[in-house]
C-alpha cells in the first residue's frame, strides 16, 4: 500500500483534569513527562507515528493556547501540520473537520485518529497492528477501532463487544459499544470474554468516514461542507473558526461508532494504557517493597503502602501511615485522595473552580 496515503491526526487539545494538580489548563498532561521517562506523552506519540507514515502526514489538532508549547516540544513540526481547534467540542467535530480537510487534500487518504496521551509498551507490535489496520480500511468499507483485552473490571473505560464468529484477517465486526459501565456490569463483561476496552484509536478511509458523517451526523457534515473551498489554504483557519460554534459537543463514539453498521475492531496486544488517571500512572510505575510508586528526590515514606506519591524534587515530603492514597504536591496545590476515589478528581476540580475560581486550575 502507498505509504503516502496514510495520515495521522493526533488529538492533543484536552485539559487532563483527572491528572490535576500536575496537569493544569495552561500546561496539560500531554506535555508532561508523568512517568519520568525523559519525554512527554506527546513526544512519545509523535515518535511512534513517524514509523507508520511520513512525518509530513502527521497532524496535531490542539487548542490555540497550546500551539507554542507544542512547537517547543516538537520543533521539527511544520506550521501547516498544526490544526488549531477554535474551541473544545469533543472528538466528533475534530474528526469531521480532519476528514473534510483530508478529502480536499488527498481523496485516497487513510486516516488514524489517535489521542496524544497513550502509553504503548510494545512499539513494534503497535507499528505492525497500525499497518494491518491501514491496509484493512484501504480495502474495506470499514470504521475500525483498536480494542484492548481487559485485565480488570475497570469502570473508567468504554467497552466494545465483538462478534467472535465474524472475522476477516483477525478483524472482527463490532456488536455493541458500552460507555463506562458500573462495576457489576464491567465484571460481567470481563467474564464473558467477548468484550474489549475501547482504546479511542480510530482508523478509516476518508470516503468511509465522509459517508458516515453524511448519514449519522448530517448537520455537522453540512457545517464543514461550507468551508469546502478553503481547506488547505490560508483562509481555512478563519472560516473554520466562524463555523465551529455551530457544531454539537459530542464524541465520535456517540455520534457515529455506536450507530454505524460497518464498525470493526482489532483485538490488540501492544501493552496499551490510556494514561488518563493517577491510578493508571500508579499501575505503570515501578514500586517499592510496600507497593508505593514514588516520584520526587526527597520523598520519605514511613509505614505507608500502596500509595502513589509525586512531589517536586526540591521539596521534602514525609508520608506516614497512609494506605492506598494518592499524594500529589505542586508549588501551589497539595492533593491527598484515596486511590479508590480517583475517578472523582474531576468533581473535586469542578468544586475548586466554584470556590476558588481558575487560580488553581
Q: What is the pLDDT of residues 262-294, one digit of tens each?
A: 999 998 888 787 777 888 889 888 999 999 999
Residue 311 has pLDDT above 90, yes or no: yes
Is residue 120 scored above 90 in pLDDT? no
Percent of the chain with pLDDT over 70: 99
Give the CATH class of 3-276. alpha beta
Residue 139's DSSP bridge partners are none
Pinpoint the alpha helices (H) of the chain.
41-49, 67-73, 91-105, 123-139, 183-192, 206-216, 218-225, 236-243, 252, 278-283, 345-356
pLDDT digits (tens, 9 = 90+) for 297-310: 999 999 999 999 99
The tens digit of pLDDT for each residue in 237-246 reads 999 999 998 9
pLDDT of 143: 94
Per-residue pLDDT band for 337 (boundaries 50, 70, 90) equals very high
Burial class (CB in 10 A: 0-12, 13-18, 19+), 266: buried
- The phi, psi pair for 202, rounded to 5°, reads -120, 145
| pLDDT tens-digit series, residues 249-264 | 888 888 898 898 999 9
Q: How far is CA 262 from CA 102, 145, 162, 174, in A?
A: 21, 11, 12, 8
Cα 279 to its chain centre, rounded Å, is 16
Residue 1: predicted pLDDT = 46
Find the mean pLDDT for residues 37-61: 91
Using the structure block, give the residue that is written with the C-alpha cell 526527597: 298
Higher-confidence residue of 199 and 153: namely 199
Highest mean pLDDT out of 80-84, 155-159, 161-165 = 80-84
The domain locations on the chain are 3-276, 281-356
Average pLDDT over every residue of 117-136: 89
Question: Residue 63's pLDDT is what?
Answer: 87
Neighbours of 351 (CB within 10 A): 11
Quick one: pLDDT at residue 343?
80
Q: Is residue 56 scored above 70 in pLDDT?
A: yes
Q: Which stretches of 263-306 are DSSP H helices?
A: 278-283
Q: Which residue has the higher pLDDT, 171 or 86?
A: 171
**For residue 16, pLDDT beyond 60:** yes
The chain-wide mean pLDDT, for the chain, equals: 89
If one compares 14 and 93, the residue with the highest pLDDT of the two is 93
- Work out the average pLDDT over 64-93: 89
Tell me whether strands 110-115 and 118-120 are parallel, antiparallel or unpaired. Answer: unpaired
Amino acid at each position: 500500500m502507498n505509504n503516502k496515503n496514510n495520515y495521522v491526526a493526533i488529538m492533543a487539545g484536552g485539559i487532563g483534569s483527572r491528572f490535576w494538580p500536575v496537569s493544569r489548563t495552561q500546561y496539560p498532561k500531554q506535555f508532561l513527562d508523568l512517568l519520568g521517562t525523559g519525554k512527554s506523552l506527546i513526544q512519545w506519540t509523535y515518535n511512534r507515528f513517524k514509523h507508520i507514515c511520513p512525518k509530513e502526514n502527521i497532524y496535531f489538532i490542539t487548542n490555540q493556547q497550546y500551539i507554542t508549547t507544542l512547537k517547543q516540544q516538537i520543533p521539527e513540526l511544520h506550521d501547516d501540520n498544526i490544526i488549531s481547534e477554535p474551541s473544545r467540542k469533543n472528538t466528533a467535530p475534530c474528526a469531521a473537520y480532519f476528514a473534510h480537510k483530508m478529502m480536499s487534500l488527498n481523496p485516497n487518504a487513510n486516516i488514524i485518529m489517535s489521542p496524544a496521551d497513550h502509553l504503548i509498551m510494545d512499539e513494534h507490535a503497535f507499528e505492525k497492528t497500525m499497518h494491518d489496520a491501514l491496509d484493512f480500511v484501504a480495502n474495506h468499507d470499514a470504521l475500525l477501532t483498536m480494542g484492548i483485552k481487559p485485565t480488570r473490571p475497570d469502570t473508567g473505560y468504554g467497552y466494545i463487544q465483538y462478534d467472535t464468529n465474524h472475522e476477516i484477517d483477525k478483524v472482527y465486526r463490532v456488536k455493541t459499544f458500552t460507555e463506562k459501565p458500573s462495576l457489576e456490569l464491567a465484571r460481567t463483561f470481563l467474564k464473558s470474554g467477548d468484550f474489549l476496552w475501547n482504546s479511542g484509536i480510530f482508523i478509516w478511509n476518508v470516503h468511509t468516514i465522509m459517508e458516515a458523517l453524511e448519514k449519522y451526523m448530517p448537520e455537522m457534515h453540512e457545517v464543514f461542507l461550507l468551508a469546502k473551498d478553503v481547506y488547505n489554504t490560508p483562509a481555512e483557519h478563519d472560516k473554520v473558526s466562524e463555523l465551529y460554534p455551530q457544531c454539537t459537543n459530542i464524541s465520535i463514539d456517540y455520534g457515529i461508532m455506536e450507530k454505524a453498521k460497518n464498525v470493526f475492531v482489532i483485538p490488540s496486544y501492544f501493552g496499551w494504557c490510556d494514561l488518563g488517571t493517577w491510578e493508571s500512572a500508579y499501575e505503570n510505575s515501578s514500586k517499592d517493597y510496600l507497593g508505593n510508586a514514588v516520584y520526587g528526590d526527597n520523598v520519605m515514606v514511613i509505614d505507608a503502602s500502596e500509595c502513589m506519591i509525586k512531589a517536586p524534587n526540591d521539596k521534602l515530603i514525609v508520608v506516614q501511615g497512609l494506605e492506598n492514597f494518592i499524594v500529589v504536591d505542586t508549588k501551589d496545590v497539595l492533593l491527598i485522595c484515596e486511590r479508590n476515589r480517583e475517578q472523582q478528581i474531576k468533581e473535586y476540580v469542578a468544586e475548586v473552580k466554584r470556590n476558588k475560581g481558575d487560580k488553581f486550575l
